[in-house]
Amino acid sequence: MADLKSRFETAVAQSKKLSERPDNTTLLKIYGLYKQATTGDNTEKKPGFGDLVGRAKWDAWNSLKGTAGDDAMQQYIDLIESLQ
């Protein structure tokens, strides 16, 4: 577990230093996996139609509902490594 957590923290740091900015779909996937790994299932209220960015982020996170934190961490690590 400690190893996974340290690898996750390394991937988070690497995500901020990517050579190219990922497309919006990939950014939303990164966001959703990060939130699922660090916070767990989304229990926040869905943003209104006027908040398009907030709504897209909420949907990305909510789509991972039920995913275990360790699984989300591993998927996050794998995704960041594939972008380098």
Cα 80 to chain centroid distance, Å, stands at 10
- Are the C-beta atoms of residues 84 and 18 closer than 8 Å to each other? yes
Domain that holds residue 39: 2-83
Q: For residue 14, what is the domain's CATH number?
A: 1.20.80.10
**pLDDT at 79 > cutoff 90:** yes
Number of domains the chain contains: 1
Predicted confidence at residue 1, as pLDDT, reads: 62
CB 64 within 8 A of CB 72: yes
> pLDDT tens-digit profile of 11-69?
999 999 999 999 999 999 999 999 999 999 999 999 999 999 999 999 999 999 999 99
pLDDT for 38:
97
pTM of structure: 0.92
pLDDT of residue 2: 74
The encoded tokens of residue 47 equal 């943003």
Q: Residue 42 in contact with residue 62, Cβ under 8 Å?
A: yes
